[in-house]
Structure 1
Amino acid sequence: MPYTLLISYDIADNDRRGEISDLLAAHGARIQYSVFDVTLPTKKEVQRLRGALRKLIDRDEDQIRLYPLPATTLNELIILGNRRLEKRADFWIV
């Protein structure tokens, strides 16, 4: 049975924020700037992700919240508005 999580974060440091964002992006879809929808195949994978996130944060400055979602929740999902996050691209001003 897959495990679905809604994961949000508030990270004080830009470097840590980038590492956490990259880690979560490798496991799920970004649905807001600091919110990811992650589905993992096993409870062991959930534990691995939690451990990896725990290693990246500063416990005094940062917070990550993992909300387990029942499978039926995805069938009841309601999205209001059509805005999608754009991928940020670096650019040069010459």
Structure 2
Amino acid sequence: MDVLVTYDIATDKKSDARRLKKVADLCAAYGTRVQYSVFECRVTPASLAKLRAELEDTIDWNRDTITLYRFRGSINDAKTILGVELDYETGNPWIL
């Protein structure tokens, strides 16, 4: 299944940078970065559950926001690009 992950991690404190990097690294392990805090992921239901659990354990629930959008079909079929198109493929699901 294709999932779009977006996040907004609070970075008012110096120590927040570590959490921001961990969230970015988690998302990068499951998908492709298409904007600074936006990742396109092709995952299995099991790997989506694992990603979600890892993100839940990482964020500050009072200050951060992560949104996961699931697509019924391919994320490529659902998107329209205006401007420069990035050269990448979302890929196949990872089986972990």
Shorter-chain TM band: 0.7 to 0.9
* Residue aligning to 1:5: 3
Contact 2:7 2:37 in 1 (8 A): yes
After the TM superposition, list the runs of 4 or more consecutive aligned residues in structure 1 that deviate by more than 6 angstroms: none
User: Which structure 2 residues correspond to residues 39-54 of structure 1 after superposition, within 5 A?
Assistant: 39-40=42-43, 42-54=44-56
Structure 2 residue ranges without an equivalent (≥5): 11-15, 87-96
Give the total of aligned pairs.
81
Distance (whole Å) between structure 1 residues aligned to residue 77 and residue 61 of structure 2: 35
Query: TM-score scaled by structure 2?
Result: 0.76
Query: TM-score scaled by structure 1?
Result: 0.78
Distance (whole Å) between structure 1 residues aligned to residue 56 and residue 78 of structure 2: 31
* Residue aligning to 1:69: 71
* Residue aligning to 1:34: 37
Residue 26 of structure 1: CA displacement?
A: 1.2
Give the greater-gyration-radius structure (CA).
Answer: 1
Residue 37 of structure 1: CA displacement?
A: 0.3
Contact 2:2 2:74 in 1 (8 A): no
Structure 1 residue ranges without an equivalent (≥5): 85-94
